[in-house]
């Protein structure tokens, strides 16, 4: 054996030892989450990057293989926007929500329940999983109602109701249907589309959808993948854990603002409904799910009751 060959074997052995050490440290966390349901909101940059998409698929499959019950809820705002542009359908936004008329909701459903959903299902199945694509309309999984928003006129102080069209909010979740997947090898991948009581199709915010599902089945964790590290303090440092009271204080003093407020509200609402804890974490980090679940401090901001 040459010195060069010996050096290669030595590096391989060092790599194997390192991997064994990582698995050893992860084992207690695997036991902790064995049999537990983890609801994952998948969206943002993680969905648009092929490398991160593959990493996400591997992570979800591993979670299932070690005994967890992952449920994926995905977004698709940029893809919807591009398709609407191609079809020359104009859209507007109110407080970050896309005003959705009949023409728009048809495109939304086509993109979310069609191309995006099946792309994620295909990626998971390609790496050894058994994913099935669903939307809230399947087996009445999510019965939705129109989401109402009000806006106060600065001159008269009169509040008026804003018409968002077919933008919905989860009113009722078929938890029994979701629980059916727990003791199978199937990973549900769910598009945020809801069914109205009169048969209407509603476009639901993916964070809101994930939070509603997590609360209905009292999941152990709700994980929201975002394009930021998590909740940051005024010095732009990551806050690893927050209570309900601390979260409200940070909203009141302006530390938590803009688009982070609805995400935090979703986390708090899920925890109030019985979710063990909610986590906002950076989907741009490779294997973010595993780092959050299988390491001592995680990589995001954990919000608990």
Q: What is the mean pLDDT of the chain?
A: 87
| pLDDT at 31 (0 to 100) | 83
Mean pLDDT of 124-141: 97
Q: Could you count the other beta carbons within 10 Å of the beta carbon of residue 101?
A: 15
Mean pLDDT of 254-266: 90
Taking only the tens place, the pLDDT of each residue in 46-61 is: 887 889 999 999 999 9
The larger pLDDT score, comparing residue 46 to residue 202, is at 202
CATH 3.40.50.150 fits 35-304, yes or no: no
Sheet holding 131-135, edge to edge: 131-135, 187-191, 69-74, 37-42, 221-226, 277-282, 301-304, 241-243
pLDDT tier for residue 1 given thresholds of 50, 70 and 90: low
Residue 7 scores a pLDDT above 60: no
| pLDDT at 45 (0 to 100) | 78
Residue 161 scores a pLDDT above 90: no
| pLDDT at 3 (0 to 100) | 56
| Beta strand 159-162 pairing with 149-152 | antiparallel
Measure the N-to-C terminal CA separation of the chain; round to a whole number of Å: 60
Mean pLDDT of 272-300: 91
| pLDDT at 11 (0 to 100) | 64
Residue 150 β-bridge partners: 161
What is the residue extent of each domain of the chain?
Answer: 35-304
Residue 265 scores a pLDDT above 70: yes
pLDDT tier for residue 96 given thresholds of 50, 70 and 90: low
Q: Is the pTM of this model over 0.85?
A: yes
| pLDDT at 296 (0 to 100) | 81
The larger pLDDT score, comparing residue 164 to residue 177, is at 177
pLDDT tier for residue 24 given thresholds of 50, 70 and 90: low
């Amino acid at each position: 054996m040459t010195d060069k060959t010996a050096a290669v074997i030595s590096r391989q052995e060092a790599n194997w030892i390192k991997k064994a050490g990582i698995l050893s440290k992860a084992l207690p966390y695997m036991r902790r989450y064995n049999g537990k349901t983890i609801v994952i909101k998948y969206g943002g940059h993680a969905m648009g990057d092929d490398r991160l998409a593959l990493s996400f698929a591997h992570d979800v499959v591993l979670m299932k293989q070690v005994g967890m019950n992952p449920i994926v809820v995905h977004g698709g705002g940029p893809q919807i926007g591009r398709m609407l542009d191609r079809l020359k359908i104009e859209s507007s936004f109110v407080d970050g929500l896309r005003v959705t008329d009949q023409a728009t909701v048809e495109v939304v459903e086509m993109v979310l329940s069609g191309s995006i959903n099946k792309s994620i299902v295909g990626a998971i199945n390609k790496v050894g999983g058994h994913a099935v694509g669903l939307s809230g309309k399947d087996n009445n999984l999510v019965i939705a109602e129109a989401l109402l928003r009000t806006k106060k006129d600065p001159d008269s102080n009169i509040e008026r109701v804003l018409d968002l069209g077919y933008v919905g909010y989860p009113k009722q979740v078929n938890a029994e249907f979701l629980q059916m997947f727990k003791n199978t090898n199937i990973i549900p991948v769910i598009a945020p589309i809801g069914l109205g009581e009169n048969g209407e199709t509603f476009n639901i915010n993916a964070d809101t959808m994930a939070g509603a599902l997590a609360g209905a089945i009292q999941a152990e964790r709700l994980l929201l993948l975002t394009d930021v590290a998590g909740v940051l303090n005024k010095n732009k440092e990551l806050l690893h854990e927050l209570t309900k009271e601390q979260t409200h204080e940070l909203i009141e003093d302006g530390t938590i603002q803009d688009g982070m407020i609805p995400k935090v509200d979703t986390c708090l609402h899920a925890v109030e409904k019985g979710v063990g804890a909610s986590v906002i974490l950076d989907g741009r980090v490779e294997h973010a799910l595993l780092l959050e679940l299988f390491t001592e401090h995680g990589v995001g901001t954990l919000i608990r009751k």
